[in-house]
Amino acid sequence: MKNLILDKISSQELADWFGLAYSTYRKKAKKLLEELTYYCDFEKYHGGVEVKEIYVDTYIKNLASEDSEVYLNLVDESKDNICSLSGMARKLQYLYPNTWGQYSFDQIIKRLTKAGIALFGKTNYPVYRQDKQEERYSGPYGYREYCWAIKEDNYNKYRFLTKEEDEIFGKLLDSYNISSKDIALKEYTEKQLKKELLEGTLTKEEYVAISSQMEFFPMLLKKFKELTGLTLVHATYHDILESIF
pLDDT at 177: 66
Say if residue 78 is in the same domain as residue 154.
yes
pLDDT-derived band at 17 (thresholds 50, 70, 90) equals very high
Say if residue 48 is in the same domain as residue 89.
no
CA pair distance 147, 166, nearest whole angstrom: 12
Query: Which tops the pLDDT comparison, 106 or 127?
Result: 106
Q: Percentage of residues in the chain with pLDDT exceeding 90? A: 48
Domain assignment present for residue 150? The answer is yes
Tens of pLDDT, residues 44-89: 998 899 999 888 888 888 788 899 999 999 999 999 999 999 999 9
pLDDT at 153: 95
Domain assignment present for residue 174? The answer is yes
The total number of structural domains in the chain stands at 2
Tens of pLDDT, residues 148-197: 999 999 999 999 999 999 999 888 888 766 655 655 555 455 666 777 77
pLDDT at 18 over 80: yes
pLDDT at 200: 73
Say if residue 30 is in the same domain as residue 151.
no
- For 108, the domain range is 63-240
DSSP 155: T
Closest by CA position to 40, among listed 122, 107, 113: 107
pLDDT at 24: 93
Opening angle at CA 142, ends 141 and 145, nearest 5: 135
CA pair distance 121, 78, nearest whole angstrom: 19
- Using only C-alpha atoms, the chain has a radius of gyration, in whole angstroms, of 21
Say if residue 163 is in the same domain as residue 185.
yes
Say if residue 163 is in the same domain as residue 223.
yes
Q: Which amino acid appears at position 103 of this protein? A: Y
Say if residue 87 is in the same domain as residue 205.
yes
Say if residue 34 is in the same domain as residue 129.
no
pLDDT at 195: 75
User: pTM of this prediction?
Assistant: 0.75
CB under 8 Å to 138, separation ≥6 — which residues? 120, 121
Domain assignment present for residue 67? The answer is yes
Say if residue 42 is in the same domain as residue 81.
no
pLDDT at 56: 83
pLDDT at 208: 73
Domain assignment present for residue 1? The answer is no
Last residue of a domain, one of 20, 37, 54: 54
Rounded to the nearest integer, the mean pLDDT of the chain is: 85
Domain assignment present for residue 15? The answer is yes
Domain assignment present for residue 3? The answer is no
Domain assignment present for residue 172? The answer is yes
Say if residue 41 is in the same domain as residue 83.
no
pLDDT at 175: 78
What are the contacts of 19-23 at 24+ separation with CB within 8 A?
A: 19/59
pLDDT at 131: 53
Tens of pLDDT, residues 204-216: 777 776 666 666 6
pLDDT at 226 over 80: yes
The angle that helices 105-120 and 63-77 make with each other, rounded to 10 degrees, is 80
Say if residue 29 is in the same domain as residue 84.
no
